[in-house]
Amino acid sequence: MNKEETIKLKKEINLLTRRLTQINKDKEQRINELEKIRKDIRELFKNLKDVKEGNSNFKQELNKIKEQREFHNKNVKDLIFQLKELNDKKNEIVKKYKLGINPLEIKNKINSLENKIEMEVMSFEKEKKLMAEIKKLKDLFKRCGDVFAINEQAEKISKNIKEERKMADDFHNKFKELVKTNKEKNKNFRDIFKKLDCLRENEEIKNKEFFELKYNINNLNNDLNNKLKQIGESNLAFTNEREKRIRIKIENEERIIEEKTRLVEDKLKNKMKLTTADFLVYQSKIKHE
Protein backbone atom coordinates (compact mmCIF):
# COMPACT_ATOMS: atom_id res chain seq x y z
CA MET A 1 0.00 0.00 0.00
CA ASN A 2 1.44 3.35 -1.04
CA LYS A 3 1.37 6.57 0.94
CA GLU A 4 -1.74 8.01 -0.78
CA GLU A 5 -3.69 4.83 -0.17
CA THR A 6 -2.64 4.86 3.50
CA ILE A 7 -3.76 8.49 3.94
CA LYS A 8 -7.08 7.73 2.25
CA LEU A 9 -7.59 4.68 4.50
CA LYS A 10 -6.88 6.72 7.64
CA LYS A 11 -9.43 9.33 6.56
CA GLU A 12 -12.01 6.59 6.04
CA ILE A 13 -11.23 5.19 9.49
CA ASN A 14 -11.69 8.64 11.09
CA LEU A 15 -15.00 9.09 9.25
CA LEU A 16 -16.23 5.66 10.36
CA THR A 17 -15.22 6.39 13.96
CA ARG A 18 -17.19 9.68 13.98
CA ARG A 19 -20.22 7.96 12.42
CA LEU A 20 -20.06 5.17 15.01
CA THR A 21 -19.89 7.72 17.84
CA GLN A 22 -22.97 9.56 16.53
CA ILE A 23 -24.95 6.38 15.86
CA ASN A 24 -24.15 5.10 19.36
CA LYS A 25 -25.52 8.37 20.77
CA ASP A 26 -28.65 7.90 18.65
CA LYS A 27 -28.95 4.34 19.93
CA GLU A 28 -28.72 5.50 23.57
CA GLN A 29 -31.38 8.12 22.85
CA ARG A 30 -33.70 5.44 21.40
CA ILE A 31 -33.11 3.28 24.49
CA ASN A 32 -34.08 6.20 26.75
CA GLU A 33 -37.15 6.94 24.62
CA LEU A 34 -38.21 3.27 24.74
CA GLU A 35 -37.80 3.18 28.52
CA LYS A 36 -39.95 6.32 28.84
CA ILE A 37 -42.65 4.85 26.54
CA ARG A 38 -42.69 1.53 28.45
CA LYS A 39 -42.90 3.37 31.76
CA ASP A 40 -45.90 5.35 30.44
CA ILE A 41 -47.51 2.09 29.22
CA ARG A 42 -47.11 0.50 32.67
CA GLU A 43 -48.64 3.59 34.28
CA LEU A 44 -51.61 3.49 31.89
CA PHE A 45 -52.17 -0.21 32.62
CA LYS A 46 -52.24 0.63 36.32
CA ASN A 47 -54.82 3.37 35.64
CA LEU A 48 -56.79 0.90 33.54
CA LYS A 49 -56.86 -1.56 36.44
CA ASP A 50 -58.06 1.19 38.80
CA VAL A 51 -60.87 2.13 36.39
CA LYS A 52 -61.97 -1.51 36.08
CA GLU A 53 -62.07 -1.89 39.86
CA GLY A 54 -64.03 1.36 40.04
CA ASN A 55 -66.56 0.00 37.54
CA SER A 56 -67.06 -3.09 39.68
CA ASN A 57 -67.70 -0.93 42.78
CA PHE A 58 -69.92 1.34 40.68
CA LYS A 59 -72.47 -1.44 39.99
CA GLN A 60 -72.71 -2.35 43.66
CA GLU A 61 -73.05 1.26 44.78
CA LEU A 62 -75.57 2.03 42.02
CA ASN A 63 -77.77 -0.90 43.10
CA LYS A 64 -77.65 0.27 46.73
CA ILE A 65 -78.68 3.82 45.80
CA LYS A 66 -81.39 2.50 43.49
CA GLU A 67 -82.81 0.32 46.29
CA GLN A 68 -82.83 3.31 48.69
CA ARG A 69 -84.54 5.51 46.08
CA GLU A 70 -87.21 2.88 45.41
CA PHE A 71 -87.69 2.35 49.15
CA HIS A 72 -88.42 6.05 49.76
CA ASN A 73 -90.59 6.33 46.62
CA LYS A 74 -92.69 3.41 47.90
CA ASN A 75 -93.01 5.16 51.27
CA VAL A 76 -94.22 8.29 49.45
CA LYS A 77 -96.87 6.27 47.58
CA ASP A 78 -98.02 4.54 50.78
CA LEU A 79 -98.23 7.84 52.68
CA ILE A 80 -100.14 9.51 49.84
CA PHE A 81 -102.62 6.61 49.95
CA GLN A 82 -103.01 7.09 53.76
CA LEU A 83 -103.49 10.83 53.28
CA LYS A 84 -106.20 10.21 50.67
CA GLU A 85 -108.00 7.85 53.04
CA LEU A 86 -107.90 10.48 55.82
CA ASN A 87 -109.17 13.21 53.50
CA ASP A 88 -112.00 10.94 52.32
CA LYS A 89 -112.91 10.23 55.97
CA LYS A 90 -112.81 13.92 56.82
CA ASN A 91 -114.97 14.86 53.83
CA GLU A 92 -117.44 12.16 54.79
CA ILE A 93 -117.76 13.55 58.35
CA VAL A 94 -118.06 17.14 57.10
CA LYS A 95 -120.72 16.14 54.57
CA LYS A 96 -122.67 13.94 56.98
CA TYR A 97 -122.79 16.46 59.82
CA LYS A 98 -122.74 19.56 57.63
CA LEU A 99 -119.76 20.99 59.44
CA GLY A 100 -119.74 24.35 57.73
CA ILE A 101 -119.62 26.31 60.99
CA ASN A 102 -116.43 27.44 62.64
CA PRO A 103 -115.77 25.19 65.72
CA LEU A 104 -114.91 28.27 67.79
CA GLU A 105 -118.36 29.72 67.11
CA ILE A 106 -119.93 26.39 68.21
CA LYS A 107 -117.90 26.47 71.43
CA ASN A 108 -118.93 30.08 72.13
CA LYS A 109 -122.56 29.24 71.50
CA ILE A 110 -122.40 26.26 73.88
CA ASN A 111 -120.91 28.49 76.59
CA SER A 112 -123.55 31.16 75.97
CA LEU A 113 -126.43 28.67 76.28
CA GLU A 114 -124.99 27.09 79.44
CA ASN A 115 -124.57 30.55 81.00
CA LYS A 116 -128.14 31.41 80.04
CA ILE A 117 -129.48 28.30 81.77
CA GLU A 118 -127.52 29.11 84.91
CA MET A 119 -128.26 32.83 85.02
CA GLU A 120 -131.84 33.09 83.77
CA VAL A 121 -135.06 31.84 85.25
CA MET A 122 -137.00 29.84 82.68
CA SER A 123 -139.57 27.18 82.35
CA PHE A 124 -138.70 23.50 82.46
CA GLU A 125 -139.71 23.06 78.84
CA LYS A 126 -137.52 25.93 77.70
CA GLU A 127 -134.56 24.65 79.75
CA LYS A 128 -135.13 21.14 78.35
CA LYS A 129 -135.13 22.58 74.85
CA LEU A 130 -131.91 24.50 75.50
CA MET A 131 -130.25 21.40 76.98
CA ALA A 132 -131.15 19.43 73.85
CA GLU A 133 -129.65 22.17 71.70
CA ILE A 134 -126.48 22.20 73.84
CA LYS A 135 -126.21 18.41 73.49
CA LYS A 136 -126.58 18.71 69.75
CA LEU A 137 -123.94 21.47 69.60
CA LYS A 138 -121.54 19.43 71.78
CA ASP A 139 -121.97 16.44 69.48
CA LEU A 140 -121.32 18.73 66.56
CA PHE A 141 -118.24 20.17 68.32
CA LYS A 142 -117.02 16.60 68.95
CA ARG A 143 -117.32 15.87 65.25
CA CYS A 144 -115.28 19.00 64.58
CA GLY A 145 -112.70 17.61 67.00
CA ASP A 146 -112.58 14.43 64.94
CA VAL A 147 -111.96 16.59 61.88
CA PHE A 148 -109.20 18.43 63.75
CA ALA A 149 -107.61 15.13 64.75
CA ILE A 150 -107.79 13.98 61.15
CA ASN A 151 -106.22 17.27 60.04
CA GLU A 152 -103.39 16.81 62.56
CA GLN A 153 -102.80 13.31 61.26
CA ALA A 154 -102.91 14.62 57.70
CA GLU A 155 -100.35 17.31 58.52
CA LYS A 156 -97.99 14.72 60.03
CA ILE A 157 -98.40 12.48 56.99
CA SER A 158 -97.87 15.47 54.65
CA LYS A 159 -94.69 16.28 56.55
CA ASN A 160 -93.54 12.65 56.26
CA ILE A 161 -94.36 12.69 52.54
CA LYS A 162 -92.25 15.80 52.11
CA GLU A 163 -89.33 14.20 54.01
CA GLU A 164 -89.61 10.89 52.16
CA ARG A 165 -89.87 12.68 48.82
CA LYS A 166 -86.77 14.71 49.68
CA MET A 167 -84.91 11.51 50.58
CA ALA A 168 -86.03 9.91 47.31
CA ASP A 169 -84.93 13.01 45.37
CA ASP A 170 -81.56 13.01 47.17
CA PHE A 171 -80.96 9.38 46.25
CA HIS A 172 -82.13 10.09 42.71
CA ASN A 173 -79.62 12.94 42.45
CA LYS A 174 -76.92 10.63 43.84
CA PHE A 175 -77.97 8.07 41.25
CA LYS A 176 -77.66 10.62 38.42
CA GLU A 177 -74.34 11.94 39.77
CA LEU A 178 -72.95 8.42 40.02
CA VAL A 179 -74.05 7.62 36.46
CA LYS A 180 -72.51 10.88 35.25
CA THR A 181 -69.25 10.11 37.09
CA ASN A 182 -69.23 6.62 35.59
CA LYS A 183 -69.68 8.09 32.10
CA GLU A 184 -66.64 10.29 32.73
CA LYS A 185 -64.73 7.21 33.93
CA ASN A 186 -65.78 5.32 30.80
CA LYS A 187 -64.54 8.25 28.74
CA ASN A 188 -61.24 8.08 30.65
CA PHE A 189 -61.26 4.33 29.96
CA ARG A 190 -61.55 4.99 26.21
CA ASP A 191 -58.93 7.75 26.41
CA ILE A 192 -56.52 5.34 28.14
CA PHE A 193 -56.97 2.81 25.33
CA LYS A 194 -56.34 5.53 22.73
CA LYS A 195 -53.17 6.59 24.54
CA LEU A 196 -52.09 2.94 24.82
CA ASP A 197 -52.60 2.43 21.09
CA CYS A 198 -50.60 5.57 20.37
CA LEU A 199 -47.78 4.51 22.73
CA ARG A 200 -47.72 1.00 21.24
CA GLU A 201 -47.37 2.44 17.75
CA ASN A 202 -44.61 4.78 18.93
CA GLU A 203 -42.90 1.88 20.74
CA GLU A 204 -42.96 -0.16 17.52
CA ILE A 205 -41.44 2.74 15.56
CA LYS A 206 -38.70 3.30 18.16
CA ASN A 207 -37.98 -0.43 18.30
CA LYS A 208 -37.58 -0.51 14.54
CA GLU A 209 -35.27 2.53 14.64
CA PHE A 210 -33.26 0.93 17.49
CA PHE A 211 -32.67 -2.33 15.58
CA GLU A 212 -31.81 -0.40 12.41
CA LEU A 213 -29.21 1.57 14.37
CA LYS A 214 -27.90 -1.64 15.92
CA TYR A 215 -27.65 -3.20 12.45
CA ASN A 216 -25.81 -0.13 11.15
CA ILE A 217 -23.45 -0.20 14.13
CA ASN A 218 -22.57 -3.84 13.45
CA ASN A 219 -21.92 -3.06 9.78
CA LEU A 220 -19.81 -0.02 10.60
CA ASN A 221 -17.87 -1.99 13.22
CA ASN A 222 -17.16 -4.71 10.67
CA ASP A 223 -16.11 -2.11 8.10
CA LEU A 224 -13.96 -0.30 10.68
CA ASN A 225 -12.30 -3.56 11.83
CA ASN A 226 -11.49 -4.45 8.22
CA LYS A 227 -9.93 -1.05 7.59
CA LEU A 228 -8.03 -1.18 10.88
CA LYS A 229 -6.76 -4.60 9.85
CA GLN A 230 -5.66 -3.16 6.50
CA ILE A 231 -3.90 -0.22 8.12
CA GLY A 232 -2.33 -2.64 10.61
CA GLU A 233 -1.06 -4.85 7.81
CA SER A 234 0.19 -1.77 5.95
CA ASN A 235 1.99 -0.53 9.07
CA LEU A 236 3.49 -3.98 9.60
CA ALA A 237 4.66 -4.13 6.00
CA PHE A 238 6.09 -0.61 6.32
CA THR A 239 7.87 -1.56 9.55
CA ASN A 240 9.26 -4.73 8.01
CA GLU A 241 10.48 -2.81 4.97
CA ARG A 242 12.07 -0.14 7.18
CA GLU A 243 13.75 -2.77 9.34
CA LYS A 244 14.99 -4.50 6.19
CA ARG A 245 16.47 -1.25 4.90
CA ILE A 246 18.15 -0.57 8.24
CA ARG A 247 19.54 -4.12 8.35
CA ILE A 248 20.94 -3.80 4.81
CA LYS A 249 22.44 -0.44 5.71
CA ILE A 250 24.10 -1.87 8.80
CA GLU A 251 25.37 -4.85 6.86
CA ASN A 252 26.83 -2.48 4.20
CA GLU A 253 28.46 -0.34 6.85
CA GLU A 254 29.92 -3.41 8.53
CA ARG A 255 31.38 -4.64 5.20
CA ILE A 256 32.92 -1.23 4.57
CA ILE A 257 34.43 -1.20 8.06
CA GLU A 258 35.77 -4.72 7.62
CA GLU A 259 37.27 -3.74 4.25
CA LYS A 260 38.89 -0.64 5.70
CA THR A 261 40.04 -2.60 8.73
CA ARG A 262 41.67 -5.17 6.48
CA LEU A 263 43.46 -2.35 4.64
CA VAL A 264 44.68 -0.88 7.96
CA GLU A 265 45.91 -4.27 9.11
CA ASP A 266 47.80 -4.68 5.78
CA LYS A 267 49.45 -1.32 6.39
CA LEU A 268 50.45 -2.40 9.90
CA LYS A 269 51.93 -5.63 8.57
CA ASN A 270 53.88 -3.72 5.92
CA LYS A 271 54.89 -1.12 8.49
CA MET A 272 53.31 1.65 6.47
CA LYS A 273 52.37 5.01 7.96
CA LEU A 274 48.71 5.22 9.20
CA THR A 275 46.50 8.21 8.51
CA THR A 276 43.98 9.77 10.92
CA ALA A 277 41.18 8.02 9.00
CA ASP A 278 43.05 4.71 9.50
CA PHE A 279 43.19 5.25 13.25
CA LEU A 280 39.43 6.02 13.36
CA VAL A 281 38.66 2.81 11.41
CA TYR A 282 40.81 0.80 13.76
CA GLN A 283 39.19 2.32 16.87
CA SER A 284 35.75 1.57 15.41
CA LYS A 285 36.71 -2.08 14.91
CA ILE A 286 37.93 -2.29 18.55
CA LYS A 287 34.59 -0.83 19.82
CA HIS A 288 32.56 -3.32 17.80
CA GLU A 289 34.67 -6.16 19.20
How open is the CA angle 264-267-270, to the nearest 5 degrees? 155
Q: Give pLDDT tens digits for 244-253.
A: 677 777 667 7
- Return d(Cα 64, Cα 46) in angstroms, integer: 27
- Return d(Cα 95, Cα 30) in angstroms, integer: 94
pTM: 0.45
Q: Give pLDDT tens digits for 3-32.
A: 677 778 788 888 888 888 899 999 999 999
* One-character DSSP codes across 115-127: HHHHHS---HHHH
CA 124 to chain centre: 100
Residue 234 pLDDT level (bands cut at 50, 70, 90): low
- Return d(Cα 28, Cα 212) in angstroms, integer: 13
Q: Give pLDDT tens digits for 134-151.
A: 787 677 767 666 767 777
Domains and CATH numbers, the chain: 3-243 (1.10.287)
- Asked if residue 189 lies in contact with residue 48, where contact means CB atoms within 8 angstroms, the answer is yes
